[in-house]
Amino acid sequence: MSDASDTTDAADASTATGAADAAPVDDPLLAVRGLDAGYGDLQILSDVDLDVADGEYVTIVGPNGAGKSTVMKSVFGLTHVFGGSIRFDDADITGAAPESLVHHGLGYVPQNENVFAGLSVRENLEMGAYVLEEFPEERLVDVYDRFPILEEREDQRAGTLSGGQQQMLAMGRALMLDPDLLLLDEPSAGLAPDLVDDLFDRIDAINDSGTAILMVEQNAKEALRRCDRGYVLVQGENRFVDTGEALLADDEVRKQFLGG
């Protein structure tokens, strides 16, 4: 974990003992500061700070109901923000609508219902680019390169794909706009264990080609193994922040959140 002497003003906002510097990145692509957010009148997140640098791979782990998905939804304009700010690429996007965020270079793959089941694979991918005046053929080629099964099945209805293929399609759709930051909410949920590694490899490859990733995962050990930095969120607050490697090695994190 980071030394306490590292703490900045933003980190001072962290409430839990042992919280490291939650905002350690110079000139971050995404900067969440002091975020209080939730649904209707219900506040779920308290004073959350989170950074993602350009090209960085950041993961959020933590117990069920901690508010991990709520962080992602807040970044994508899908919650009620009570306080704090969200900046992306030097613009204040706090409370901005999802339609405007995709223009800004933000892609979001929700955990559930993330494909149009009644449309074909190709139509789903076309929907991913609907905000553009001209269809980006080169993006389709890139997505088919990353996920060849989607090209093989381009005329098949998305609802008939397997869970893993639907997840690839959802990611492919978000990649059609070549986002600078891709938000992935539990991409491995519901996948057979032998498919999970393959999916994580593909996410690594997306990151290797320059797209920053912010990912929520239940599969915490694997996610921390692969990411640059991780946040452990508990009851709507940052509890630990560090490199994935340091979090995996931390006794308290291991004992409390990674099953020993």
Ligand X SMILES: Nc1ncnc2c1ncn2[C@@H]1O[C@H](COP(=O)(O)OP(=O)(O)OP(=O)(O)O)[C@@H](O)[C@H]1O
Contacts with ligand X by CB under 6 A lie at 39, 42, 44, 62, 64-70, 218
Task: With beta carbons less than 8 A apart as the criterion, state whether 241 and 229 touch.
Answer: yes
Task: With beta carbons less than 8 A apart as the criterion, state whether 21 and 8 touch.
Answer: yes
Element (H, E) at 183: strand 181-185
Query: Please, which residue, 46 or 94, has the CB nearer to ligand X?
Result: 46
Q: Quick one: which of 226, 217, 150, 162 has its CA closest to 185?
A: 217
Cα of 242 vs its chain's centroid, Å: 17
Query: Please, which residue, 62 or 84, has the CB nearer to ligand X?
Result: 62
* CA–CA gap between residue 260 and residue 245 (Å, rounded): 15
Least distance CB 160 / ligand X (angstroms): 26
Query: Please, which residue, 66 or 199, has the CB nearer to ligand X?
Result: 66
Query: Please, which residue, 69 or 207, has the CB nearer to ligand X?
Result: 69
Q: For residue 76, give every residue at least 6 positions away whose Cβ sits within 8 Å of its Cβ, in sequence order, or none.
A: 98, 101, 106, 108, 183
Structure tokens of 248? 């995996």
Query: Please, which residue, 44 or 253, has the CB nearer to ligand X?
Result: 44
Least distance CB 83 / ligand X (angstroms): 17
CA terminus-to-terminus distance, the chain: 17
Query: Please, which residue, 74 or 165, has the CB nearer to ligand X?
Result: 74
Least distance CB 192 / ligand X (angstroms): 19
* CA–CA gap between residue 140 and residue 128 (Å, rounded): 10
Alpha-helical regions (H) of the chain? 9-12, 68-75, 98-104, 121-128, 137-146, 148-152, 163-175, 193-208, 220-226, 244-249, 251-257
- Counting every residue, how long is the chain? 260
CB count within 10 Å of CB 56 equals 19
Query: Please, which residue, 72 or 129, has the CB nearer to ligand X?
Result: 72
* CA–CA gap between residue 91 and residue 198 (Å, rounded): 35
Least distance CB 218 / ligand X (angstroms): 6
